[in-house]
Chain A
Amino acid sequence: MTAGPFALSKNKDVQERHSVLQADGTIATGAQPRMEEEFLLEALRWMMKSRLYDTRVISLQRQGQFGVFSPGMGQEASIVGSAMALDPTRDWIVPQYRELMATVHHGLPLEIITAQYLGKIGPARIPDGVRVLPTQVSIAAQLPQATGLAWGLRLRGEDAVVMAYIGEGGSSEGDFHEALNLAGVTKSPIVFFLQNNQWAISTSRRVQSATASFAFRAAGYGFPGVQVDGNDVMAVYDVAVAAVERARKGEGPTLIESVTYRMSFHNTTDNPSRYEDPKEHEEARTRDPIERVQKYLTGLGLWDKKREAALTEELTQENEAALQLAFAAPAPVPADVFANVYDHPPQRVVQQEAELLDGRRD
């Protein structure tokens, strides 16, 4: 389906921001959402799960029981709507680090990604068959790899698409530009999903680029760029599905700029009051991605306080169960320091490891 208010390949005016479900919980005039109500309820479930998990983990971190964590709060529509456009049995997700629930939606068990934050090793291993790359620290380095993954999938004749995530901050790195350029040249089956949450640690979006829209950048690489209201799960889903379909048909990459807002902080060590204008924050709060879905569904008679309480309870239990599993998973042992440096470690390396383990002897 490429008709509707939004036909990617025809969309020349990237500044136009695709919108379906507005902040007040009403549908934009003329919008023809793909998401049906049943599916919207499913999206709401994932968004609420994401926020509940973030809230819980932040409090655990404050008590010293969890690693440094970057929550997805405020970006749930962006995170969930994009993941829902993929087919977990064949498509891939290449995350930056703020898309935890997208990877869970894609089949990475919550207890496994949680175990990773707890410094577990074996129990944090991504299971075979789950098409998700691990997060990494070196900003934007995942994008050239994502392009390579997409290109490789096509060379292998797989009918698969890669959804690669990046922040607006990360899009300043050379890696971003080089990855998009090569993806355009090779017409690789990839969607670059840029979450513009207005902040990169303390650095404002305006410092990253003089462009009016990050989506404009796609033009320089020969493929479409679209901008979407990243707090509108119906709109995000629309643009993501269209981009995935385009990639699957062999028409090449799409850059999606999902305009959203980082409602919490960079990570649990950050205190945005040092640099964030409280007015900007308050204004963003009125555009909450979860509340607008709840409002809309309430209008349709599909949502009420009772249902909200019941689902909150259910999701809290679900998250708690995953956390318990992760906490209970075995902690690494000293020998794990050397595990996985090499496939078939050279004999000399094995010997050095043994020496090191019984007292430093380098």
Chain B
Amino acid sequence: MPEEKLYRVALREALGEEMERDDTVYLIGEDIGKFGGAYRVTDGLLDKFGAERVVDAPIAEEVIVGTAIGSAMLGLRPVVEMMTINFSLVAYDQIVNNAAKIRYMFGGEANVPLVIRMPGGAGHQLSAQHSHSLEVLYGLIPGLLVVAPTTPEDAKGMLKSAIRTNNPVMFLESMSLYNVRGMVPDGDYTTPLGQAAVRRKGADLTIVGVSRMAVLANEAAKQLEEEDIDVEVIDLRSIRPIDWPPIVESVNRTTRCMVVEEGWATYGVTAEIAAGVQERCFDYLDAPIRRLGGAQVPMPYSLPLEKASIPTSEDIKRMARKVVGRKTDA
């Protein structure tokens, strides 16, 4: 029987089941052993699989990723946990210059079946060096697959796919989604990487949401129903590659499009989506494509300022009304 589970539990199950299924899969990261990871995703896995497969590493992101790459070239399947995507910047050279390029530079002779799991997002007063989303920094790199699941079902299914693919995958979780509950299918299933999901059908406007913003867009859409605005919500899920067909089909039907991300919209994931929609749907569009992102500042530590810096469902509704030509703040 499918069961309601927490997002973090769904991830934990994916890790455990894949480790069970394939003994080349191992985990490495900071505080993932007894501590169970900063967000408790790996809780209990040390007891089950031992310290050789659940490896607590020194605080050294670059060597964590670098050693994972080395072992991956040998055929192991490391799953790295970064405490946050922000700290992955310490390992950026290994990821961008190495993990993403090795297959190409080696003429296809070596694969890097590496997964890097990391949460992003603000809202917990973790301040400027610990709160950003930064999806775009990986989205722009050929050679990487970049995904951001938003439901427990996807979290589990996509993590399994990520572990099984031979390409390096940036698996972007969200701090604010770990406690979200949702139905998770029974048994061994995978969810393909590289596909967007239509979360809600609608006729007036297409909202494409990135990571947690897809969840907020859904909430906003429910509320907009009362105002007679019928919103279609697409959860991007895959940041690289972008799954254009469902987006294009939707926008051509609704003729209006808006894109939302938690990160900075300038040069952001939303910029890429907006540009692509414009190229593909220009003749159908009845309004300019609008983008919504976080305030373009380093994330403030102050709670009220932090709140003011992250898009809310109110912000989404306000912009949606504009795109469909309704009076705002009615």
Bind each other: yes
Select B125's contact among A119, A169, A332, A356, beta carbons within 8 Å: A119
Q: A137-B127, A201-B31, A332-B305 are in contact. Are A352 and B296 (CB under 8 A)?
A: yes
Residues of A within 8 A of B129 (CB): 136-138
Asked if A362 contacts B291 (CB within 8 A), the reply is: yes
Residue of A nearest to B296 (CB): A352
A60 within 8 A of B: no
* Contact residue among A120, A207, A336, A352 (Cβ-Cβ distance under 8 Å from B57): A207
Chain A: minimal CB distance from B79 (Å): 18
Question: How far is the CB of A213 from the nearest CB of chain B, in Å?
Answer: 16
Q: Does B105 contact A (CB under 8 A)?
A: no
> What is the interface of chain A mostly: helix, strand, loop, or mixed?
loop
Contact at B298–A341, with CB atoms within 8 Å? yes
Residues on the A chain within 8 Å of B303, using CB: 119
Near B by CB (< 8 A), chain A positions 97-136 give 119-121, 136
Contact with B62, one of A120, A174, A200 (Cβ below 8 angstroms): A174
Q: Does A67 contact B (CB under 8 A)?
A: yes
B58 close to A209 (CB less than 8 A): yes
Q: In the complex, which residues of chain A have a beta carbon less than 8 angstroms from the beta carbon of B38?
A: 201
**Least CB separation from B35: chain A residue:** A202
User: Are B315 and A360 closer than 8 Å at their CB atoms?
Assistant: yes
Q: Cα distance A200–B265 when bound, in Å?
A: 35
Contacts of A331 in B (CB 8 A): 302, 304
| Any A CB within 8 A of the CB of B208 | no
CB–CB B31/A356 < 8 A: no
Find out whether the CB atom of B297 lies under 8 angstroms from the CB atom of A200.
no
Does B126 have its Cβ within 8 Å of any Cβ on chain A?
yes
The answer for the CA separation of A208 and B304 in the assembled complex, in Å, is 37
Which B residue's beta carbon lies closest to that of A118? B302
Known contacts A275-B35, A360-B318; decide if A119 and B301 are in contact (CB<8 Å): yes
Cα A140 to Cα B33 in complex, Å, equals: 23
Which A residue's beta carbon lies closest to that of B329? A359
Interface range, B side: 35 or more
Contacts of B329 in A (CB 8 A): 359
- A170 / chain B contacts, CB cutoff of 8 Å: 59
Q: How many residues of A contact B (CB 8 A)?
A: 37
* Alpha-carbon gap, A173 to B56, bound state (A): 15
Query: Which residues of chain A are near B319, meaning CB under 8 Å?
Result: 360
**Which residues does chain A contribute within 8 Å of B291, judged by CB atoms?**
362
Can you list, as one digit per residue, whether each of A155-179 has a CB less than 8 Å from chain B (1) or not (0)?
A: 0000000000000011011110000
Complex alpha-carbon distance, A332 and B30, angstroms: 34
Complex contact A201–B30 (CB within 8 A): yes
In the complex with contacts A203-B31, A332-B305, A337-B297 CB distance below 8 A: yes
CB of B34 within 8 A of CB of A274, answer yes
Do A362 and B292 have beta carbons less than 8 Å apart? yes
Minimum CB–CB distance from A37 to chain B (whole Å) comes to: 40
Q: Take A68-B125, A119-B303, A334-B305 as given contacts and tell me if A169 and B34 are in contact as well, using a CB distance cutoff of 8 Å.
A: no
B295 within 8 A of A: yes
Query: Which chain A residues numbered 315 to 340 have a C-beta less than 8 Å away from chain B?
Result: 331-332, 334, 336-338
**Segment 34-54 of B: residues with Cβ below 8 Å from A:** 34-36, 38
Per-position binary interface string of chain A over residues 22-51, scored 1 when its CB falls under 8 Å from any chain B CB and 0 otherwise: 000000000000000000000000000000
Q: A68-B125, A119-B125 are in contact. Are A172 and B58 (CB under 8 A)?
A: yes
- Given contact pairs A119-B305, A137-B130, A208-B59, A201 touches B293 in the complex (Cβ within 8 A): no
B311 is contacted by which of A120, A139, A338, A360 (Cβ under 8 Å)? A360
B84-99 interface (Cβ within 8 A of A): 86-87, 90
**Is B123's beta carbon under 8 Å from chain A?**
no
Which residues of chain B have C-beta atoms less than 8 A from A173's C-beta? 59-61, 90
The yes or no answer to B137 lying at the interface (CB within 8 A) is no
B300 close to A (CB within 8 Å): yes
State the CA gap A337–B296 with chains docked (Å).
9
Q: Which residues from chain B contact A200 at a C-beta distance below 8 Å?
A: 30, 59
**Are A138 and B296 interface neighbours, CB within 8 A?**
no
Contact between B315 and A174, CB atoms less than 8 A apart:
no
Q: In whole angstroms, how far apart are the Cα atoms of A356 and B57 in the complex?
A: 42
Find residues 332-362 in chain A having any chain B CB closer than 8 Å to their own CB.
332, 334, 336-338, 341, 352, 356, 359-360, 362
Which residues of A lie under 8 Å from residue B298 when comparing CB positions? 341
Pick the contact of B318 from A136, A209, A341, A359 — CB < 8 Å?
A359
Task: Check A67–B125 contact: CB distance below 8 A.
Answer: yes
A341 to B296, CA, bound (A): 9
Q: Is B180 part of the contact surface with A, judged by Cβ < 8 Å?
A: no
A202 to B38, CA, bound (A): 10
Cα-based distance from A139 to B62 in the complex (angstroms): 13
Q: Smallest CB-CB separation from A357: which chain B residue?
A: B308
Check A202 against B265 for contact (C-beta < 8 Å).
Answer: no
B309 at interface, CB cutoff 8 A: yes
Which 3 pairs between the two chains have the least Cβ-Cβ distance? A119-B302, A202-B35, A172-B58
Q: 27 A-B pairs, CB-CB below 8 angstroms?
A: A119-B125, A119-B302, A119-B303, A119-B304, A121-B302, A137-B127, A173-B61, A173-B90, A174-B60, A175-B90, A200-B59, A201-B31, A201-B35, A202-B31, A202-B34, A203-B30, A203-B35, A274-B35, A274-B36, A332-B302, A337-B305, A338-B297, A341-B296, A360-B315, A360-B318, A362-B266, A362-B292
